[in-house]
Structure 1
């Protein structure tokens, strides 16, 4: 092989190597851009999930509060209540619930309390009455003291939205009426937007939330509140490390992305977490975030937590 042939061979080899390097860098650049775009899209979807879940939860709380205020001022109910006609009051409440549920599509229950904060009636069980509640229902005590309505998420036998309005007569506290809503409407609405909702309660409240004692446990610390849930999302959540969850944040596991925020009651205690989930194929490590949660009071004096 002469010098010219050897030179051409070297040039061809250099061109080949250069071409391979350029192609590799091009593919890597395209792949990086694609991954970057996918990650930005995932973060945007997580932001949307967080924003949507919080807004829908606030709407559900406001809805419960509106119903509570409405029922606490219903003339036919108040007439029966002041006459201590439990049967008539129960029938009126039952009719109102049936009518409002058909009209608005929300599922809710109602409990009425007397001036001593004892159970006056429950919409789901007429036989229950005269149970003292003040020792473990601090929200009722607060409503009686302030004579102002309160809406919050509370732990009872279940975890619910509870909106309590005082029953007032000539400036005097005569009792209160409580609207109790579960999170079925919230789960349904999120599902329509492509998100599953998993609700976690800290296990330390299981001595109160007795109906949840046999629900699935997550990460040895939380119990799943949902009666129904997306099994694939739940399995991914079970494999996640939830040790360092903060006030809110994002994380991914397997093929799912999670946006979460803490559940606070009206005394600002952390009860657990709302977790919105969607399928995601982009591997992504996301840091958690932290924020200060404070009690908010609007101009009408209604406490919203």
Structure 2
């Protein structure tokens, strides 16, 4: 084998190695771009579902504020009858929509608790000092929804209540936690755990006995224990040093849950399988009736006969 042939072989091997290297780098970039797009799509799904939940709460608050029985009982200072009306409305919603995470609170025009659908404590409590959303609605007299901190951190949709003379007489508030959101996202292959910064426990007293997760506290009674244990072992995933983290087939990311003034005081941790196709987000249709195969065969035979006649 002469020297020229050896040089040619060596050059050929070097070129192949270089090509394989760049092919590897190119495939890695393509794969990374695909993961980036997947994460962005999943985060968008979570944000859209969260927005839908807020819009639903706001719609209910506005509808309740137009209920004449609610208006009359608030104006006439009749909390017992008003609470009966609320419980009937909520029972109907539960019966026909299976939504069990809705609570309603009604306030007087000076922002004192008038009626709560879930308890009778704190009636007459003045909420003006720590409920910024209520103050905003009182001042603007327009509906408003946000993730807001009180004794709990959840979705609070508030609508002003007016009497027949269009006088402002109070507010009605629809409260939703994140349980329905969690269930819907789980169906889409996404696990979530909402977490509140533990420094706000002085205000959010209802969570004082909930499990901690580093500098956060879990704010849902029902949550994915496996996801919680996973985060407990990988606390670095709670930081925002990276847009997302990969752990084998898992992708972990988060979105901030801002309060009234858009300050992020909580986060929603998100986890999903990076190899899972995104078809679950499509509507699911099922036909539960019986298919009459004889009728279909007969129709097909008649169709074939008509086609023969036409020809």
- Residues in 2 aligned to 1:232 and 1:23: alpha-carbon distance in whole angstroms: 46
Long gaps (5+) in structure 2: 276-311
Query: Normalising to structure 1: TM-score of the pair?
Result: 0.77
Q: How many residues align?
A: 271
Deviations 1:157-192 (A, max 9, x none): 221100111111223221111100011121112111
Deviations 1:214-245 (A, max 9, x none): 33333x32222232333443344331425752
Among 234, 240, 243, the residue aligned to 1:245: 240
- Residues in 2 aligned to 1:19 and 1:216: alpha-carbon distance in whole angstroms: 62
Among 114, 134, 145, the residue aligned to 1:120: 114
Instruction: Look up the match of 1:151.
Output: 145
Within-5 A mapping of 1:144-293: 144-169=138-163, 170-218=165-213, 220-238=214-232, 239-241=234-236, 245=240, 250-255=243-248, 256-280=250-274
CA contact 1:236–1:254 (8 Å) conserved in 2? no
- 1:35–1:18 Cα change, 3 Å: same
SS in 2 for 1:78: helix
Deviations 1:200-222 (A, max 9, x none): 2111111111222233333x322
Shift of 1:41: 2.6
Shift of 1:100: 1.5
SS in 2 for 1:117: coil
- 1:254–1:115 Cα change, 3 Å: same
Long gaps (5+) in structure 1: 1-6, 282-305
Within-5 A mapping of 1:61-76: 61-76=54-69
Within-5 A mapping of 1:24-103: 32=25, 34-103=27-96
- Residues in 2 aligned to 1:240 and 1:52: alpha-carbon distance in whole angstroms: 24
- 1:41–1:115 Cα change, 3 Å: same
- Residues in 2 aligned to 1:226 and 1:35: alpha-carbon distance in whole angstroms: 38
CA contact 1:149–1:166 (8 Å) conserved in 2? yes
- 1:13–1:236 Cα change, 3 Å: farther
Which stretch of structure 1 is more off in the superposition, 61-70 or 226-235? 226-235
CA contact 1:143–1:149 (8 Å) conserved in 2? yes
Shift of 1:59: 0.9
- 1:33–1:191 Cα change, 3 Å: farther
Shift of 1:84: 2.1
SS in 1 for 2:107: strand
- Residues in 1 aligned to 2:72 and 2:90: alpha-carbon distance in whole angstroms: 18
- 1:38–1:268 Cα change, 3 Å: same
CA contact 1:233–1:278 (8 Å) conserved in 2? no
SS in 1 for 2:86: helix
Tell me which protein shows more helix as a share of its residues.
2
CA contact 1:121–1:128 (8 Å) conserved in 2? no
- Residues in 1 aligned to 2:134 and 2:67: alpha-carbon distance in whole angstroms: 20
CA root-mean-square deviation: 2.8
Query: Normalising to structure 2: TM-score of the pair?
Result: 0.76
